[in-house]
Amino acid sequence: MARDLPDIWRAYGDRVANKSDDDVTVLRVDPTVWAHALKAADGDARRIEIRGEFDVVVHNDPLPPGQRVNVT
């Protein structure tokens, strides 16, 4: 859970993961940018993970076609 991961604090006090590497990219976004992240990940089949209210993890490895979900 994001509460156990160090480095960046949101204004309301919850911790946010700040670990990016070759396998995962951690982004902190507002709802408008969130929509862009969803659109981008859908285009190349990357997996999106939600961590907290406005925190999104976009995994850099594509999912197999049988595990992909379209969000509209």
pLDDT digits (tens, 9 = 90+) for 14-72: 444 556 566 666 666 677 767 777 776 666 666 777 776 666 677 777 777 776 665 54
How many angstroms from the chain centroid is the CA of residue 13? 19
How many other C-beta atoms can be found within 10 angstroms of the C-beta atom of residue 32?
7
- Give a yes or no: residue 3 inside a domain: no
pLDDT digits (tens, 9 = 90+) for 7-21: 444 443 444 455 656
**Residue 9 DSSP code:** E
- Give a yes or no: residue 56 inside a domain: yes
Range(s) of the domain holding residue 56: 19-72
- Give a yes or no: residue 6 inside a domain: no
Q: Per 3-state DSSP, what percentage of the chain is helix, strand, and coil (rounded to 5)?
A: 30, 35, 40
What's the domain count of the chain?
Answer: 1
Instruction: Decide: 4 and 17 in contact? Cβ < 8 Å.
Output: no
